[in-house]
Amino acid sequence: MTEITITAKDGGKFTAYLARPASTPAPALVLVQYICGVNQVMRRIADQFAALGYLVAVPDLYWRQDPGVQLIQNPASPTKEEMQRALELNDGLDDDLAVSDLTATAETLRGHADCNGTLGALGYCLGGRLVVPMAARTPLDCAVSYYGVNLDTYLDEAETITAPLLMHVAGEDAMVPAPLREAIQQRIGGLPNASVTIHPGVNHAFALPSGPNYNAEAAIRANSESHAFLARHLSPVAQG
């Protein structure tokens, strides 16, 4: 497993899983974890994006609480203890510090020898929320959010985003009330460089492989849209 070390803007250091494409220099992608840390699921997704031609980093956002923690390696069989710990870490996360760490990761990736200078970000759940303020505060070429939670906190800030933004929203997300789903569609979907895709009939984390709410049809549709969006704005070199 390849990791890089990143210096936090407020001091200290944290690690990020790094997945390299076959051909470099390549566009970079900051991949933002969900509540289970940089686990096997996130590393596998990073490897998949690297196979598409991206230099991918998945930073450890829990490093201030429990460095290197990896929970629920198999979403099909989570334990009660792991789920409780993931929720504790999620509740203890400082969003502003996490976004600062994402900015530091983006700056490190842009300066990496294997990066061609273009960079995007993509996040799931917790990461789907953090990608929004990250896109508002960090120079990005594009950003993708999957079923972000508690986005009401960042709707005002989202309206300042100028980079292309794609948001995937589960039409029956039990963690995102219907009024918030409607607000996301109206306020963010109405921005000049943003688009919001509502996926009807599916619940939160519908694109999480083996997860309890996984929906193959919706996941394929969302991932295809995301891949086309990233390719349009980052132009990766086809991998042989």
Kindly list the catalytic residues: 173, 204
Q: What is the maximum alpha-carbon separation in the chain?
A: 45
Q: Alpha-carbon dihedral of residues 143, 19, 86, 227, nearest 10 degrees?
A: 40
Rounded distance between C-alpha atoms, residue 49 and residue 217, angstroms: 20
Please identify which residue in the block is written with the tokens 């991932």. Answer: 223
Which DSSP string do the residues of 144-169 spell out, in sequence order?
EEES-SSGGGGHHHHTT--S-EEEEE
Please identify which residue in the block is written with the tokens 């609480």. Answer: 65
- Which residue in 192, 225, 221, 230 sits closest to 30, CA to CA? 230
Residue 27 burial (10 A CB sphere; 0-12, 13-18, 19+): buried
Alpha helices, H only, 61-119 = 80-91, 95-110
